[in-house]
A and B are shown apart, each in its own frame.
Chain A
Amino acid sequence: MKTVFDRPAALTDVPLHYCPGCTHGIVHRLVAETIDELGILGSAVGIAPVGCSVFAYNYFECDMIEAAHGRAPAVATGVKRTHPDAVVFTYQGDGDLAAIGTAETVHAATRGENITVIFINNCIYGMTGGQMAPTTIPGQVTTTSPYGRKRNVQGSPIRVCEMLSTLDGVALAARVTVDCPKNILQAKKMIKKAFQNQIDKKGFSIVEVLSTCPTNWGLAPLDALQWLRDNMIPYYPLGVYKDGEAIRDEE
């Protein structure tokens, strides 16, 4: 019998712990498919964050390191700089990448670290139970912004791709989502490009994936997808903010 659909070799045979309706599973699969298609399972080293995807080290079939909260880009730097032939990726959420790890993110990007960053933006701290994230949108209610995020109190959210796209070290900064098959295909395309860029030594590549958190948003999975379309995409427009090559000096 011909197999038409299977688990990618880059995913382990371990049930994911994610909540029903959460889009982490889709993004894991896209990353794993990419690793398979590029034939890099033996050279890939993944860095897991602190947050909902903390157990990512159990799900990918390549070597994995579990980093401290926010420090994945620095850990990735240490791996990549000492093993330039390894294909090094981080998988981080919004609190990890854009709050406690902002410095590590921005500086890895501006150094043009030749790594791939998969950034899950769901506007909330999921693992700790629904607190305000650096990407929580204005007016959004969370357990630590119970009256809605107010710009004059909690400040404005960070648009990571736009910010990083100004840096010379960045090769790719793209925002995608996985709310429908068409967008999933586009997300896959960008994730694959972000890995291919690393193989081609083009520099820092980040793919921001707008994701849902039905549990902490308090919405049914389908309603959560609609909330993403209605509220997140207007604030975080999908698109490719930078696509090129890090500016570097001659060796």
Chain B
Amino acid sequence: MSDKVLMKGNEAIAEAAIAAGCVYFFGYPITPQTEVAEYMARRLPKVGGLCLQAESEVAAINMLMGASAAGTRAMTSSSSPGISLKSEGISYIAGCDLPCLIVNVQRGGPGLGGIQPSQQDYYQATRGVGHGDLRLIVLAPSSVQEMASLTAEAFDLADTYRMPAMLLADGALGQMMEPVDFSAFPKRDLPPKDWATNGTKGARKKNIVNSLFIEPDKLEQSILTRYERYKKVEAEEVRYEEVMTEDADIVLVAFGITARIAKSAIAEARKAGVKAGLLRPITLWPFPKKRLCELADTAKAFVSVEMSMGQMVDDVRLAVNGKRPVSFFGRTGGMIPSVEEVTAEILNVSASL
């Protein structure tokens, strides 16, 4: 008997958040992430917290901003179209240097798109969410266990660097069930939230949470200061998993649910005599570009495998920087690539070398 529980990915996010001390949730229903809000609505009142269903995604992200500004660990969750609506608030949160967790359980787009899993929001998460110079820490789980562990970790990362973190999942991870162990999440020493606007109590000077700097030199300075922190994140928080890359001629790059398919495919390719490996970015920002660049010294080709028309492939190309050919393989619109088609692609690329 194990201590694990069989749980949906969406529910694992919620339970992990509560375990990580997040007892405030602001959200709006949208498939395929609604179970996060439902789970929170059931559990939070019993642990002295609150799940508030907002009138809109826009309101939800701003409620989150208020909670975070007041120094409270809090989160919201949505799926692709909802994240577009939240992007205004995310920009303000980033501009105010507030920590929080935003979950995107991606579905197919653009527009209303579909409700099946996708990875079409890679660009949005890693460079296009909201206006202005800003970054989110973007974590990409590839199992229900990681839905839990990376949720817990995202809060600590956000608090450490005073910036929003995003858990970028997809409908398959949100809906699927796998065993999860909640017992061992590492904890960090976190800086005090001495910037919080929760009332001075007459004991300190007033705090202001603000993203407005009307003088351009001051705005530039605030951005430069923020980017110093971003640099630190890039230096210290890159995370990835490598599978059979040591001798690989062809290195697949894939994240989330797609990485699992890629993992099966490289095993199949090896049975067919092709030395394939996998690099799975766990942090999409910061992206493991240094490691990919190193791998370009030994590997002969890279294939980015995604559930989109090819977005992360740009980052792979930037990292490989022309040293080796980089190609893309994917399905989009909610289709999940099969192990067979990814294997066939590996063999194709191998034959073309």
User: Does B198 lie at the interface of the complex (its beta carbon under 8 Å from any beta carbon of A)?
Assistant: yes
Interface string of B65-105 (1 = CB under 8 A from A): 11111101010000000000000110010001000000000
Once bound together, how far apart are the Cα atoms of A106 and B197, in whole Å? 25
User: Does B50 lie at the interface of the complex (its beta carbon under 8 Å from any beta carbon of A)?
Assistant: yes
Q: Which residue of A lies closest to B73 (CB)?
A: A82
Describe A's contact surface by its main secondary structure.
mixed
User: Does A45 lie at the interface of the complex (its beta carbon under 8 Å from any beta carbon of B)?
Assistant: yes
Contacts of A61 in B (CB 8 A): 206
Q: Which 7 A-B pairs have the closest CB atoms?
A: A78-B66, A74-B62, A63-B197, A107-B55, A75-B66, A78-B67, A78-B63
Most chain A Cβ neighbours within 10 Å, of B65, B74, B199 = B199
Contacts of B264 in A (CB 8 A): none
Once bound together, how far apart are the Cα atoms of A54 and B208, in whole Å? 13
User: Is B62 within 8 A of A75, CB to CB?
Assistant: yes
User: Is B55 within 8 A of A57, CB to CB?
Assistant: no
Stretch at the interface among A65-73, A181-189, A206-214: A65-73
User: Is B62 within 8 A of A68, CB to CB?
Assistant: yes
Q: Which residue of B lies closest to A75 (CB)?
A: B66
User: Is A63 within 8 A of B206, CB to CB?
Assistant: yes
Where the two chains meet, the residues of B that have a C-beta atom closer than 8 Å to any C-beta of A are 24, 26, 50, 52, 54-56, 58-60, 62-70, 72, 74, 88-89, 92, 96, 196-203, 206-212
User: Is B197 within 8 A of A65, CB to CB?
Assistant: yes
Once bound together, how far apart are the Cα atoms of A65 and B62, in whole Å? 11
CB distance from A210 to the nearest CB of B (A): 27
Once bound together, how far apart are the Cα atoms of A13 and B212, in whole Å? 20
User: Is B206 within 8 A of A68, CB to CB?
Assistant: no
Q: Which residue of B lies closest to A47 (CB)?
A: B66
Q: Which residue of B lies closest to A80 (CB)?
A: B66
User: Is A83 within 8 A of B69, CB to CB?
Assistant: no
User: Is B201 within 8 A of A43, CB to CB?
Assistant: yes
Where the two chains meet, the residues of A that have a C-beta atom closer than 8 Å to any C-beta of B are 41-45, 47, 54-55, 57-58, 60-68, 71, 74-83, 85-87, 103-104, 106-107
CB distance from A42 to the nearest CB of B (A): 4
User: Is B209 within 8 A of A66, CB to CB?
Assistant: yes
User: Is A81 within 8 A of B67, CB to CB?
Assistant: yes
CB distance from A169 to the nearest CB of B (A): 12
Given that A41-B202, A42-B203, A86-B199 are known contacts, is A79 also in contact with B208, CB under 8 Å in the complex? no
Contacts of A68 in B (CB 8 A): 62, 88-89, 92
Question: Among the listed A42, A74, A83, A107, which residue makes an inter-chain contact with B70, where contact means beta carbons less than 8 Å apart?
Answer: A83
Between-chain CB contacts (< 8 Å), 9 pairs: A47-B66, A62-B200, A63-B206, A64-B207, A65-B96, A66-B96, A82-B67, A86-B70, A86-B199
Contacts of A64 in B (CB 8 A): 197, 206-210
Instruction: Give me 8 other A-B pairs in contact (C-beta within 8 A), A45-B70, A66-B211, A75-B69 excluded.
Output: A42-B199, A43-B199, A47-B66, A67-B65, A74-B66, A75-B62, A81-B52, A82-B66
Given that A61-B206, A103-B56 are known contacts, is A78 also in contact with B74, CB under 8 Å in the complex? yes
User: Is A79 within 8 A of B69, CB to CB?
Assistant: yes
Q: Which residue of A lies closest to B69 (CB)?
A: A65
User: Is A57 within 8 A of B198, CB to CB?
Assistant: no
Contacts of B60 in A (CB 8 A): 74
Once bound together, how far apart are the Cα atoms of A75 and B209, in whole Å? 11
Once bound together, how far apart are the Cα atoms of A104 and B196, in whole Å? 23
